Amino acid sequence: MIQLRTYQREAVDAVYNHLRTRDDNPCVVIPTGGGKTPVMAHICRDAAQRWDGRVLVLAHVKELLEQTAGTLSDTAPELDVGVYCAGLGSRDTDHAVIVASVQSVYQRADRLGRFNLVMIDEAHLIPPDGEGMYRTFLQDAGVINPNVRLIGLTATPFRMSTGMICEPENLLNHICYEVGVKELIVQGYLCRLKTKAGREKVDTGSLHVRAGEYIASEVEDLMDTHALVRSACEEIIEHTQDRHSCLIFASGIEHGHHVARVLRDKHGVEVGEVYGHTPPAERGELIARFKGTSDGLFRDPLHYLVNVNVLTTGFDAPNIDCIAMLRPTMSPGLYYQMVGRGFRTDPGKEDCLVLDFGGNVMRHGPVDQVRLAERFGNGGEAPAKECPECHSVVACGYRVCPECGYEFPPPERSKHDAKATTAGILSGETTVTEYAVHDVFYGVHRKRDVPEDHPCTMRVEYGVGWQQWQSEFICFEHTGWARQRAESWWRERTTWPVPDTAAEAVELAEQGVLCETLFITVRSIEGEEYDRIVGYKLGPKPTSGCDREGYVLTEQVPF
Range 378-386 average pLDDT: 59
Range 335-348 average pLDDT: 90
Pairing outcome for strands 384-386 and 322-325: unpaired
Digit-coded pLDDT (tens) for 244-302: 999 999 999 999 999 999 999 999 999 999 998 999 889 989 999 999 876 555 568 89
- State which fold the 191-395 domain adopts: Rossmann fold (3.40.50)
Give residue 155's pLDDT. Answer: 86
Q: What is the mean pLDDT of the chain?
A: 84
Pairing outcome for strands 90-91 and 81-85: antiparallel
Q: Is the pLDDT of residue 414 over 60?
A: no
Predicted confidence band at 219 (pLDDT cuts at 50, 70, 90)? very high
Q: Is the pLDDT of residue 432 over 80?
A: no
Predicted confidence band at 430 (pLDDT cuts at 50, 70, 90)? low
Helix (H) or strand (E) holding 291: helix 280-291
Range 494-511 average pLDDT: 91
Q: Is the separation of the CB atoms in 354 and 347 below 8 Å?
A: no
Q: Is the separation of the CB atoms in 496 and 508 below 8 Å?
A: yes
Give residue 413's pLDDT. Answer: 41
Rg (CA), the chain: 25
Contacts of 430 (CB under 8 A, 6+ apart): 423, 424, 523, 524, 525, 526
Digit-coded pLDDT (tens) for 516-527: 999 999 887 655
Range 85-90 average pLDDT: 84
Range 51-72 average pLDDT: 83
Find, among 115, 119, 51, 147, the residue nearest to 555 by Cα.
51
Q: Is the pLDDT of residue 40 over 80?
A: yes
Q: Is the pLDDT of residue 355 over 70?
A: yes
Digit-coded pLDDT (tens) for 88-108: 888 998 999 999 988 888 889
Q: Is the separation of the CB atoms in 436 and 420 below 8 Å?
A: no
CA dihedral of 40, 41, 43, 49, whole degrees rounded to 10: 160
Helix (H) or strand (E) holding 192: strand 192-197
In whole angstroms, give the CA distance from residue 496 to residue 488: 12
Range 63-91 average pLDDT: 84
Q: Which of 1-10, 389-398, 492-501 has the highest mean pLDDT?
A: 492-501
Q: Is the pLDDT of residue 167 over 70?
A: yes
Range 229-251 average pLDDT: 96
Q: Is the pLDDT of residue 462 over 80?
A: yes
Question: What is the chain's length?
Answer: 559
Ramachandran angles phi, psi of 392, nearest 5°:
-70, 140
Q: Is the pLDDT of residue 373 over 50?
A: no
Range 298-325 average pLDDT: 88
Predicted confidence band at 142 (pLDDT cuts at 50, 70, 90)? very high
Q: What is the DSSP letter of 406?
A: P
Q: Is the pLDDT of residue 429 over 60?
A: no
In whole angstroms, give the CA distance from residue 420 to residue 106: 51
Q: Is the pLDDT of residue 424 over 80?
A: no
In whole angstroms, give the CA distance from residue 553 to residue 551: 6
Lateral strand order in the sheet of 97-101: 90-91, 81-85, 97-101, 55-59, 117-120, 149-154, 26-29, 174-178
Asked if the 6-185 domain carries CATH number 3.30.420.40, the reply is no
Predicted confidence band at 46 (pLDDT cuts at 50, 70, 90)? very high
Q: Is the pLDDT of residue 57 over 60?
A: yes
Digit-coded pLDDT (tens) for 473-484: 999 999 888 888
Give residue 418's pLDDT. Answer: 35
Helix (H) or strand (E) holding 258: helix 253-267
Q: Which of 109-113, 411-415, 510-514 has the lowest mean pLDDT?
A: 411-415
Range 532-540 average pLDDT: 90
Q: Which of 41-45, 439-443, 467-471 has the highest mean pLDDT?
A: 41-45
Give residue 265's pLDDT. Answer: 96
Q: Which of 112-121, 363-372, 438-447, 534-543 has the lowest mean pLDDT?
A: 363-372
Range(s) for CATH 3.40.50.300 in the chain?
Answer: 6-185, 191-395
